[in-house]
């Protein structure tokens, strides 16, 4: 399975998604950040793109109240996962796993990474092929970067699965002034297959042979 991991800038449409799909024919899954789809109306557009390119789209969107929601669209354009984001002080919401064509995908939306270790166990989640982790904006400090990577490694080892995450290339948490764009893939042994900090180039992950290919071009933002 080939998974395209992208770090777009925030936008009101789907220009960057469409560009990546045109430039990478044959990809099985594209992973975009939390809130990439700026509104509910774009879900229909994403579904049409998924069907046209025979690709699953994993991302998130903003609902009418500007709250973030989880979203996975199948290669046939079907919405397979659409749920609210877990409250900061709550237990991981379900569903947080989707099975499609024999592939079992876990889903953690941004800060849900810090709730996933116990949350997956409470939801009875096991035997995952990989965990998708769409992140809203970059890390607000080096300490946060290290903390989140360490937590992704802990989940990967416990659930014997790959964990793959990506953030937007722009924006900072609550406009704190610091943003460290991040994209990563952790193997089931807890070792980093790739770990990107301030490098906005899209990366292709091959989950079968556990390898990555940095794609030519500065980034996915144009």
∠ CA 167-171-172 to the nearest 5 degrees?
95
Whether 220 maps to a domain, the answer reads no
- Residue 209 clears pLDDT 60, i.e. is over it: no
Residue 144 lies in a domain: yes
* Backbone phi, psi, residue 145, to 5°: -55, -50
E strand segments, 1-107: 2-5, 29-31, 56-62, 68-73, 79-84, 97-100, 103-107
Question: What distance in Å separates the CA atoms of residue 141 and residue 108, rounded to the nearest whole number?
Answer: 21
Spatial distance between the Cα atoms of 136 and 184, rounded to a whole number of angstroms: 14
Q: How many domains does the chain have?
A: 1
With cut-offs at 50, 70 and 90, classify the pLDDT of residue 211. Answer: low
Q: Looking at residues 199-221, what average pLDDT do you find?
A: 69
Instruction: Name residue 130's beta-bridge partners.
Output: 105, 162
Read off the pLDDT band of 31 (50, 70, 90).
Answer: very high
Mean pLDDT confidence for 76-96: 97
Coil, strand or helix: which one is 29? strand
Q: What is the mean pLDDT of the chain?
A: 93
The boundaries of the domain holding residue 50 are: 2-214
Query: For the residues 83-108, what does the mean pLDDT come to?
Result: 96
Burial class (CB in 10 A: 0-12, 13-18, 19+), 23: middle
The closest alpha carbon to 108, from 52, 63, 165, belongs to 165
SS3 142: helix
Would 83 be classed as within a structural domain?
Answer: yes
In a domain, 221, yes or no: no
Pairing type for strands 182-186 and 192-197 reads antiparallel
Question: How crowded is residue 53: how many other Cβ atoms within 10 Å of its Cβ?
Answer: 20
94: CATH: 3.60.110.10
50-80: pLDDT as tens digits: 999 999 999 999 999 999 999 999 999 999 9
**pLDDT per residue over 167-185, tens digit each?**
999 977 777 777 899 999 9
What order do you get walking across the sheet with 162-166 strand by strand? Answer: 97-100, 103-107, 130-134, 162-166, 182-186, 192-197
For 43, which DSSP code?
Answer: H
Residue 219 counted as domain residue: no
Q: Is residue 21 part of a domain?
A: yes
pLDDT of the residue at 216: 52
pLDDT tens digits for 101-146? 999 999 999 999 999 999 999 999 999 999 999 999 999 999 999 9
Q: For the chain, where are the alpha helices, taking DSSP H only?
A: 15-23, 42-53, 113-122, 142-159
99 falls within a domain: yes
């Amino acid at each position: 399975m080939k998974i395209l991991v992208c770090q777009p800038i925030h936008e009101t449409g789907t220009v960057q998604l469409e560009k990546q799909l045109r430039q990478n024919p044959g990809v099985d899954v594209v992973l975009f950040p939390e809130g990439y789809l700026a509104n509910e109306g774009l879900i229909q557009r994403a579904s049409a793109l998924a069907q046209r390119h025979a690709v699953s789209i994993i991302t998130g969107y903003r609902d009418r109240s500007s709250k973030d929601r989880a979203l996975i669209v199948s290669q046939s354009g079907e919405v397979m996962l659409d749920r609210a984001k877990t409250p900061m002080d709550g237990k991981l919401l379900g569903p947080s796993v989707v099975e499609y064509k024999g592939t079992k995908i876990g889903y953690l939306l941004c800060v849900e990474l810090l709730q996933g270790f116990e949350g997956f166990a409470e939801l009875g989640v096991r035997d995952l092929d990989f965990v998708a982790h769409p992140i809203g904006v970059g890390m607000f400090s080096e300490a946060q970067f290290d903390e989140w990577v360490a937590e992704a490694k802990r989940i990967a080892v416990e659930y014997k699965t790959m964990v793959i995450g990506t953030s937007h290339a722009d924006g900072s948490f609550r406009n704190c002034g610091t943003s460290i764009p991040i994209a990563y893939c952790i193997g089931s042994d807890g070792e980093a297959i790739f770990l990107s900090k301030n490098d906005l180039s899209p990366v292709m992950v091959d989950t079968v042979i556990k390898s990555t290919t940095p794609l030519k071009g500065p980034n996915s933002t144009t």
